[in-house]
Amino acid sequence: MLARQFTLRETKNFERVEAQGKMFQSESFGLGFFNREDSEPSRFGFIVSTKISKEAVQRNRIKRALSEAVRYEMAYLKPGHDAVFLAKGVSTKKSTDALMHEVKEALGKAGLTK
């Protein structure tokens, strides 16, 4: 689990990423990110719609896998960004290790790593 200081919790932050941020697409998720232009640690949010899976167990597994991947990469991330992961249907079929590898690649391609 990500520490509370590294998570997006307010709706306005999710909306700001959607409205003003940039989007990066990978096979299993979309990654929206917004540069806050401050030196605070980057914060992350995770959205897994019921369109992906009707089962909460599946949706929570995907959120936990994405969250764990981000937690693992925190030491290598630039500060001052808000990012939101939007899961796609393919993510239900991926293993946790595969999702972790994909998150690492996506963060690098999006320019969020040091």
* Structure confidence by residue, pLDDT tens digits, 57-112: 999 999 999 999 999 999 999 999 999 999 999 999 999 999 999 999 999 999 99
What's the pTM? Answer: 0.92
How many Å from the N-terminal Cα to the C-terminal Cα in the chain?
A: 22
Domain ranges of the chain: 4-107
Give the integer Cα–Cα distance in Å for 18 and 15.
5
Give the integer Cα–Cα distance in Å for 78 and 75.
9
Q: Does domain 4-107 have CATH number 3.30.230.10?
A: yes
Average pLDDT, the chain: 94
> Per DSSP, what are the bridge partners of residue 46?
85
